[in-house]
Amino acid sequence: MKHIFLNLKRFDVPVSLGGVNRIAPIGQWGAHIVSATQEALKAYDPAEVEFVQYFPEAHLLSAVAACCENSPVQVGCQGVYRMNTAPGGNFGAFTTNRPVSAMKAMNVNAVIIGHCEERNDKMGILAEAGVTDAPAVNRILNQEIRLAVSQGMRVLYCIGEKDTELDRWDAVLREQLEIGLEAVDKSRVVIGYEPIWSIGPGKTPAGKEYITKIARFVKQVTGGIDVVYGGGLKKDNAEMLASIPEIDGGLIALTRFQGEIGFYPDEYLEIIRTYLGK
């Protein structure tokens, strides 16, 4: 099975407010992306490839509503809270947070957890309290993953090493995997590998040999969980990534990096065609 994930981050913000959204009014943005992509994605066999689009929370309902019957698009959210509601228990006193039950009630069945931006946020909060150990972040992520999986959600769990961790990449990734996936039903998890050291302007992208090494390592540690490249599936690296047998798909974000940068549905579909070869 191949997996094509789309992390729409905060691409909904209009250009006039410092964002990159040029494709639709913000109130119609989620529905627009689903409507502009789902018909073309029907050309692919759902037994061979899945398509998950992770939206900011405000757009989840409109994205779900835009899905046609038997839509190939799965709508996902960008994280869940480490606690949840329960009959006879906490009824939802979680101001500012996103419990799994709320996502399920919206017919959202997939979530991305552990993205490097989420890890940085959690580490920053913990640092304010004097906690600087990375295992604490992994333990919190594990709570999120276990709750999501227990409610039947599909999880994309992101891992990755920073430039200061390259000399011990294997220990860093092993810790993220072993703590993050402790007591988790791994059949509902896909691993997204983010080489954090290589992501961003002016940085050298990870090469085929390095990505292959990491994917093999992840599969060995996890017992064969599918691995996608989370450093950004783009048109210029799609063919290279497709040639790595150990890589089972990719995570797309921005589709255009020069000029009017942003996410564009037609370019998203072109990346998919390039990666899948049709």
Structural fold of domain 79-227: TIM Barrel (3.20.20)
Domain layout of the chain by residue ranges: 1-77+232-278, 79-227
- Annotated catalytic residue 194: yes
Nearest to 38 by CA among 53, 23, 28, 24: 53
pLDDT at 63: 98
- Mean pLDDT in the chain? 97
pLDDT tens per residue, range 80-110:
999 999 999 899 999 999 999 999 999 999 9
Residue 278 confidence class, pLDDT cut points 50, 70, 90: confident
118, 144, 161, 194: the active-site residue: 194
32, 50, 115, 144: the active-site residue: 115
Average pLDDT over residues 50-78: 98
pLDDT tens per residue, range 14-29:
999 999 999 999 999 9
Read off the pTM: 0.97
pLDDT above 90 coverage of the chain, percent: 96
Average pLDDT over residues 220-233: 97
CB 250 within 8 A of CB 258: no
pLDDT tens per residue, range 27-36:
999 999 999 9
